[in-house]
């Protein structure tokens, strides 16, 4: 098990007070805080090594390029990709979805084709596909969710037809915390010869991910949700798909030769990394991953499970509490409403009590509609959170309940 007090000391932001009390940060599904090592690494690179990658002959540029490619190697190892060039740096998960929706769509999807998404998707894994469908005339099919927030996989199987071209689902639901059975989802799709894109924005930092074992065709995640910097993300894609897909954006570094008649594109991964990437962000992300690996993903998973169980049991003791997302397989996210109190009222009051949560529809309007609500209060916990912080949340919720009674 992990030493949470020692870990908390690694995160400078957690040391501060927001109003009068130490901050309780329960908004980790929105973004995570950064350990000192990520902040220091980023600073150090700006102070000592900043220089554009792949371009200069000078030693600074060479050093920077090497560090950038080392970061790629770290990430390759982290997700266990077969090749380093299967790791594409993007600005985040959203850009990765847009990239695949565009490039895969251009190459493989035509009018009346079908793609499969799920009811649990974040808007970022819906809208890019809708844009693609508008361009191509393809249609979206949706895997329904059950009341507990699990995907109905027998309904999923029935969605396939000979027109199905790709499945795109999240690893973990951002609003409910459900861990989807992506192994099974991928297997079923592959039985139909359909590739699968996994939106791992909420998944990868809670569970070990091995893309070869999963056999997923694409897996994307964001740096800022995994204790790394903002503005950097990763798209893993199988070489065979990435090679066949046309570029998503044009610009420097993604080309071999340019004439006004014809441009030939660079090899992977550079074909998909047009312009100057967030190279220092990539190095910061690599530092974050090394930090996580040092603690151990299995240790993190076990501790966060303990937090989830503790919080769920405690929060259930509040009269009239409604928890949304009660899957057997969940990450440490609890979406809830207290009696008839509006999520915004609860969130405002919690903020006054120095507890940061997210309120609203969590960019997940279809699932809110499914439950017939406008939004929820979401407490999302990380391995630097403690059981005493959970106790304080419960205590505060009881106070709020009294206030609005």
Partner 1 sequence: MLKMTIDQAQEQIVEEFSVFADWMEKYTYLIDLSKELQGFKEEYRNGNNLIKGCQSQVWLQDEYKEGKITFYADSDAIITKGMIALLVRVLSDRTPDEIATAELWFVDKIGLKTHLSPTRSNGLISMIKQMKLYALAYKAKYQS
Catalytic residues: 363
Determine if 83 is a binding residue for partner 1 (CB under 8 A).
no
**Could you tell me if 219 and 96 are in contact, meaning their C-beta atoms sit under 8 angstroms apart?**
no
- Looking at the Cβ atoms of 47 and 402, the one nearer to partner 1 is 402
Q: Which residue among 360, 366, 370, 394 contacts partner 1 (CB under 8 A)? A: 360
What DSSP string describes 230-289? Answer: TT-EEEEE-HHHHHHSPPSS--TTSEEEE-SS-EEEPPTTGGG--S---HHHHHHHHHHH
CB nearer to partner 1: give 103 or 376.
376
- In this complex, which beta carbon is closest to partner 1, that of residue 76 or of residue 343? 343
Judged by CB under 8 A, the stretch of 128-136, 147-155, 189-197, 345-353 that binds partner 1 is 345-353
359 binds partner 1 (CB under 8 A): yes
Q: Among the candidate windows 6-14, 130-138, 301-309, 338-346, which touches partner 1 by CB under 8 A?
A: 338-346
The answer to whether residue 374 forms part of the interface with partner 1 (CB under 8 A) is yes
Copy the structure tokens of residue 371: 């439950």
Number of residues this chain uses to bind partner 1 (CB under 8 A) = 16
The secondary structure element, H or E, covering residue 59 is helix 59-79
Site pattern 208..227 for partner 1 (x: CB under 8 A):
--------------------
Residue from 196, 268, 341, 381 touching partner 1 (CB under 8 A): that is 341
Q: In what order do the strands lie in the sheet with 218-222?
A: 87-90, 233-237, 218-222, 196-199, 164-170, 114-118, 139-143
**What residue has token string 């406008």?**
374
343-352 vs 387-403: helix crossing angle, rounded to 10: 120
Q: Which stretch binds partner 1 (CB under 8 A): 145-153, 177-185, 258-266, 352-360?
A: 352-360
> Please, what is the minimum distance in Å from the beta carbon of residue 349 to partner 1?
7
User: Residue 378 CB, nearest distance to partner 1 (Å)?
Assistant: 13
**Nearest distance, CB of residue 380 and partner 1, angstroms:** 17
From CA 220, how far away is CA 268, in angstroms rounded? Answer: 17
Provide the 3-class DSSP secondary structure of residue 200. coil
Asked if 404 interacts with partner 1 (CB under 8 A), we say yes
Structure tokens at 104: 């895969």
Judged by CB, which is closer to partner 1: 51, or 230? 230
Q: Which of 10, 345, 354, 392 is close enough to bind partner 1 by CB under 8 A? A: 345
Residue 50 φ then ψ, to 5° = -55, 125
Q: For the residues of 304-367, what is the DSSP string, one character each? A: HHHHHHHHHHHHHTSTTEEEE---SSB-SEEEEEETT--HHHHHHHHHHTTEE-EEE-TT-HHH
Member of 13, 60, 258, 348 binding partner 1 (CB under 8 A): 348
Measured over the CA atoms of residue 279, residue 246, residue 107 and residue 133, the dihedral's sign is positive
**349 counts as binding partner 1 under rule CB under 8 A:** yes
**Residue 397 Cβ vs partner 1, minimum distance, rounded to whole Å:** 15
342 binds partner 1 (CB under 8 A): yes
For the CB of residue 362, give the shortest distance to partner 1 in the complex, in Å. Answer: 11
Minimal CA–CA distance to 188: which of 135, 116, 122, 134?
116
Query: With respect to partner 1, which residue has the nearer C-beta, 122 or 238?
Result: 122
Assess contact for 287 and 228: CB atoms under 8 A: yes
Stretch that binds partner 1, among 100-108, 127-135, 264-272, 341-349 (CB under 8 A): 341-349
According to the binding rule CB under 8 A, does residue 152 interact with partner 1? Answer: no
User: Tokens 């199988």 — which residue?
Assistant: 238
Q: Which of 194, 375, 383, 390 binds partner 1 (CB under 8 A)?
A: 375
The yes or no reply on residue 174 touching partner 1 (CB under 8 A) is no
Binding site for partner 1 (CB under 8 A): 341-345, 347-349, 352, 359-361, 374-375, 403-404
């Amino acid at each position: 098990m992990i030493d949470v007090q020692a870990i908390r000391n690694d995160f400078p932001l957690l040391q501060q007070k927001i109003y009068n009390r130490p901050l309780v940060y329960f908004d980790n599904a929105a973004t995570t805080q950064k350990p000192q090592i990520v902040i220091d690494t980023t600073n150090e690179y700006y102070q000592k090594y900043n220089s554009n990658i792949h371009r200069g002959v000078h030693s600074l540029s060479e050093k920077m390029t090497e560090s950038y490619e080392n970061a790629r190697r770290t990430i390759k190892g982290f997700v266990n990709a077969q090749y380093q060039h299967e790791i594409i740096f993007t600005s985040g998960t959203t850009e990765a979805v847009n990239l695949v929706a565009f490039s895969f769509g251009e190459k493989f999807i035509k009018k009346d084709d079908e793609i499969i998404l799920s009811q649990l998707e974040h808007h970022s894994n819906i809208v890019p596909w809708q844009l693609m469908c508008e361009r191509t005339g393809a249609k979206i099919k949706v895997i329904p969710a059950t009341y507990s927030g699990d995907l109905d996989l027998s309904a999923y199987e029935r969605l396939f037809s000979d027109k199905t071209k790709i499945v795109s689902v999240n690893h973990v639901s951002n609003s409910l915390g459900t861990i989807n059975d992506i192994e099974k989802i991928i297997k079923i799709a592959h039985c139909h010869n359909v590739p699968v894109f996994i939106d791992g924005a909420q998944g990868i930092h809670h569970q070990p991910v091995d893309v070869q074992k999963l056999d997923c065709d694409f897996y994307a995640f964001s740096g800022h949700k995994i204790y790394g910097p903002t503005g950097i993300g990763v798209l893993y894609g199988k070489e065979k798909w990435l090679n066949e897909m046309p570029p998503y954006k044009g610009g420097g570094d993604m080309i071999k030769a340019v004439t006004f008649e014809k441009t030939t594109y660079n090899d992977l991964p550079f074909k998909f990394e047009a312009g100057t990437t967030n190279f220092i962000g990539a190095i910061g992300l690599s530092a974050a991953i090394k930090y996580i690996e040092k603690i151990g993903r299995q240790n993190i998973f076990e501790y966060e499970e303990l937090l989830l169980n503790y919080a769920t049991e405690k929060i259930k003791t509040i009269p009239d509490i409604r928890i949304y997302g009660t899957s057997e397989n969940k990450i440490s996210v609890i979406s809830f409403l207290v009696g008839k109190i509006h999520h915004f009222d609860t969130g405002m009051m919690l903020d006054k009590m120095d507890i940061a949560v997210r309120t609203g529809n969590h960019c997940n309007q279809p699932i809110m509609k499914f439950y017939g609500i406008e939004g929820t209060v979401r407490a999302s916990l990380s391995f630097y959170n403690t059981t005493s912080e959970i106790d304080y949340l419960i205590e505060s919720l009881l106070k709020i309940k009294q206030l609005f009674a």
